[in-house]
Amino acid sequence: MEGADKFIPTPAIVIDAAVVRRNLDAMAAYTATHHLKLRPHTKTHKSVKVGRMQVERGAVGLTVAKSGEAQVMAAAASDLLMAYPAVDPQRCMQLAELTRTRTVRVAIDSALAADTLSSAARAAGSFIGVLVDLDVGHHRTGAQSPEDALRLAQHISKMSGLRLDGLLCFPGHIGGAPESQKPALLALDALLDEVIGLWRTSGLDAPIVSGGSTPTAFRSHLVRNLTEIRPGTYVYNDLNCVRGGCATLDDCAARVVSTVVSTAVPGQVVLDAGTKTLTSDRCGPAPDSGHGYIIEHPEAKVFKLFEEHAQVDVRECATQPKVGDRVTLVPNHICPCINLMDRVWWHEPGEAPTPLPVDARGKVS
Amino acid sequence: MEGADKFIPTPAIVIDAAVVRRNLDAMAAYTATHHLKLRPHTKTHKSVKVGRMQVERGAVGLTVAKSGEAQVMAAAASDLLMAYPAVDPQRCMQLAELTRTRTVRVAIDSALAADTLSSAARAAGSFIGVLVDLDVGHHRTGAQSPEDALRLAQHISKMSGLRLDGLLCFPGHIGGAPESQKPALLALDALLDEVIGLWRTSGLDAPIVSGGSTPTAFRSHLVRNLTEIRPGTYVYNDLNCVRGGCATLDDCAARVVSTVVSTAVPGQVVLDAGTKTLTSDRCGPAPDSGHGYIIEHPEAKVFKLFEEHAQVDVRECATQPKVGDRVTLVPNHICPCINLMDRVWWHEPGEAPTPLPVDARGKVS
């Protein structure tokens, strides 16, 4: 850890601002080159400041998962997409309220969601844009066939207060090295062709076709039907991105600074970063990879976490960490780690880190 | 879910106040019967209100993991134990400040921690009580032998600003059904005998011998050297407690209320409670048990979590959950779930639930 961070209480997440800007610039340049719109998912940073940096670089809007997050991110963007089914009347009312001052869209996969949104929009005297969520192979949510998608689109197109704006998909099933993704992405494009064609013959249009995730982001141009992408993790990256081949360790902007609090047990040290800092999320592409990568001790293995302790096997380490030492970890999955902190530390090159509030933290509904 | 909870935005944690009182009363009665002191760990609830309920029932003080938590829990108790090594100068200063108005103790396993605490106590003109952390088989932190424990105790006893108050152990390696724990607990008692004997022959006393965890709590009387125990999870309990045999489902006071947001994929429903609500913590005693137990659908299996989605296999369910339905989950591990919420909902029988702030949430250092 650099000297500037020495007096931050640990455990802490320190964000390298220069790396964030580089990550944002790279995605902005890629989408501009390929005439794709960018609507970054804010679940990773949950920060109004970082949301604004994305909008300043040309993002057409911001994506959220919850209506509470939409309310927070309204401070950063005039255009918000909730890529999550709004089903509760209360959630729909919050979104409808927001349409008074912002463009608001929601992705849904059920008639009940459409009906509830329509009621809320009518009560607020406003319009909510709706994207039909299409399952393209991830099998989590989404209409199961082109016919199902058409049926839902037709239902939405007839409801007052709703505006059918297009399609949304999440290609979360496409992972692995970016260069290996081509066949799956072309199959996705063919499916979108079919759905959009069916809509056209039924007189319906899909001006927005929203896709994208960080692992597939830089291959999105292969899916020619997409009009926009919604990557989230790319802003900070993590060990999942590195092991999955879509980022390098140098691209990981957010790191956990932790203190060695015990070296009593031979061959092991204990850090003050447990699951209440690093979470129990495993590294997807490498299930026995442990709980993060320690920059100063690449041979160390974070083999077990408790709520406030990390047990680290240091038997292979060139130098042995001492009690009181600080170490820097790249976590397996950065999004839920940020979500545990009231504030992280924003580190501009050559300056002392300053607190950055995690504005949308705790907006669970 | 009862009608009273119907308008709480989901996902939410609802606490059954009657079950909490029953859990607290049972532990208070057990410790009173066996002349053990009770110093509950507050990591589970992080609530000043619940801390006060514990003190009102005879707890001699409260236990915390972090100095920030100690500052919060000072509102509930005059006696605080940090069962976690204080190593950072900043953390030690916070504790030393707290000794002006509260009795403060810390468990440590290194000479550096003793030196740093001594400096902080001298700077504040106060005394910090110190317990020597002894590894009794869990192999996480703690002095590795009776001789090591004696050496550290002698070091502490000579330092100004510190008061050697005794021993602390965490029998986290003793799990399984309570009735199977006897041999391990008797072995622990024999080890404590040896350490305390060695201290006595060296002129050192251990007025406090602190042990305990929720799985072993109700067998603590078998360890005759213990003067107190520090269970935490017993206040709310969880699926780990149930599967481990130390609680029943009825003893689980804290439940996650969640809404079905999608039923698009056949055989499955999606809930609005992902890892940002339930965490990725597995159920220790049953590694393939999934991510929580759904009260209304005991045959359902929560087989995969994303940040904001739970995928539930409902093929074996007697009735199929519908979009918009609310369900109630007992999570695998309640402590980190509470830690994700700014507030939970406190439910007194026959009354509408009211928000209960998670006061010590976010106190990471």
pTM of the model as a whole:
0.97
Q: Is B10 on the interface with A (CB under 8 A)?
A: yes
Residues of chain B in contact with residue A109, where contact means CB-CB under 8 angstroms, are: 262, 264
As beta bridge partners, residue A130 has A106, A164
Number of residues written out for chain B: 365
As beta bridge partners, residue B261 has none
Whole-angstrom distance, CA of residue A293 vs CA of residue B3: 47
Q: Is B307 on the interface with A (CB under 8 A)?
A: yes
- C-alpha to C-alpha distances, B306 to A44, A304, B233, B274, nearest whole angstrom: 13, 22, 25, 5
Whole-angstrom distance, CA of residue A36 vs CA of residue A96: 28
Check residue B253 and give its pLDDT: 98
Q: Is B91 on the interface with A (CB under 8 A)?
A: yes
Chain A residues 26-45 within an 8 A CB cutoff of chain B: 43
Interface test with B, best of A262, A334, A340, A361 (most B CBs within 10 A): A262
Tracing tokens 């400096």 back to the chain, one arrives at B119
Q: Tell me the average pLDDT across A103-131.
A: 97
DSSP assignment of B265-289 equals: STTEEEES--HHHH-S---TT-TTS
Q: Tell me the average pLDDT across A323-329.
A: 97
Find, among A278, A98, A170, A145, the residue nearest to B308 by Cα: A170
User: Does residue A151 carry a pLDDT above 90?
Assistant: yes
Reduce the DSSP state of residue B163 to 3 states and report it: strand
Q: What are phi and psi of A257, to 5 degrees?
A: -95, 130
Q: Is A277 on the interface with B (CB under 8 A)?
A: yes
Check residue B1 and give its pLDDT: 44
Q: Is B142 on the interface with A (CB under 8 A)?
A: yes
Residues of chain B in contact with residue A12, where contact means CB-CB under 8 angstroms, are: 364-365
Q: Is A180 on the interface with B (CB under 8 A)?
A: no
Say if the Cβ atoms of A265 and B362 lie within 8 Å. Answer: no
Say if the Cβ atoms of A275 and B281 lie within 8 Å. Answer: yes
**Shortest CA distance from B343: residue in chain A:** A362
Check residue B316 and give its pLDDT: 97
Residues A192-221 pLDDT 10s: 999 999 999 999 999 999 998 999 999 999
Cβ atoms of B171 and B217 closer than 8 Å? no
Residues of chain A in contact with residue B141, where contact means CB-CB under 8 angstroms, are: 261-262, 264-265, 270, 309
B284: confidence class by pLDDT, cuts 50, 70, 90: confident
Distance of residue A331 Cα from the nearest chain B Cα, in angstroms: 14
What is the distance of C-alpha B97 from the center of its chain?
A: 25
Say if the Cβ atoms of B11 and A365 lie within 8 Å. Answer: yes
Say if the Cβ atoms of B265 and A141 lie within 8 Å. Answer: yes
Q: Tell me the average pLDDT across B326-344.
A: 98
Check residue B129 and give its pLDDT: 98
Q: Tell me the average pLDDT across B291-320.
A: 97
Whole-angstrom distance, CA of residue A211 vs CA of residue A224: 11
Give me the sign of the Cα torsion angle A46, A49, A50, A53: positive
On average, the pLDDT of chain B sits at: 96
H or E stretch including A153? Answer: helix A146-157
On average, the pLDDT of chain A sits at: 96
Whole-angstrom distance, CA of residue A70 vs CA of residue A102: 10
Residues of chain B in contact with residue A258, where contact means CB-CB under 8 angstroms, are: none
Residues B87-104 pLDDT 10s: 989 999 999 999 999 999
Say if the Cβ atoms of A87 and B341 lie within 8 Å. Answer: no
Say if the Cβ atoms of B340 and A84 lie within 8 Å. Answer: no
Say if the Cβ atoms of B323 and A365 lie within 8 Å. Answer: no
Q: Is B139 on the interface with A (CB under 8 A)?
A: yes
Q: Is A266 on the interface with B (CB under 8 A)?
A: yes
Please, where are the H alpha helices in chain B? 17-33, 48-56, 67-73, 89-98, 111-124, 146-157, 182-201, 239-244, 275-278, 334-338
Smallest Cβ distance to A264: which of B10, B142, B270? B142
Q: Is A345 on the interface with B (CB under 8 A)?
A: no
Check residue A1 and give its pLDDT: 44
Residues A260-293 pLDDT 10s: 999 999 999 999 999 999 999 998 877 777 999 9
A175: confidence class by pLDDT, cuts 50, 70, 90: confident
Q: Tell me the average pLDDT across A135-140.
A: 97
A238: confidence class by pLDDT, cuts 50, 70, 90: very high
Q: Going by C-beta distance under 8 Å and a sequence separation of 6 or more, which residues neighbour residue B288?
A: none
Reduce the DSSP state of residue A356 to 3 states and report it: strand
Q: Is A287 on the interface with B (CB under 8 A)?
A: no
Smallest Cβ distance to A364: which of B43, B277, B309? B277
Check residue A182 and give its pLDDT: 95
Say if the Cβ atoms of B140 and A43 lie within 8 Å. Answer: no
Say if the Cβ atoms of B341 and A323 lie within 8 Å. Answer: no
Q: Is B11 on the interface with A (CB under 8 A)?
A: yes
Check residue A179 and give its pLDDT: 85
Interface test with B, best of A10, A140, A313 (most B CBs within 10 A): A140
Residue A88 or residue B22, greater confidence: B22
A176: confidence class by pLDDT, cuts 50, 70, 90: confident
Residues B161-173 pLDDT 10s: 999 999 999 999 9
B176: confidence class by pLDDT, cuts 50, 70, 90: confident
Residues B108-125 pLDDT 10s: 999 999 999 999 999 999
Residues of chain B in contact with residue A311, where contact means CB-CB under 8 angstroms, are: 140
A225: confidence class by pLDDT, cuts 50, 70, 90: very high
Q: Is A262 on the interface with B (CB under 8 A)?
A: yes
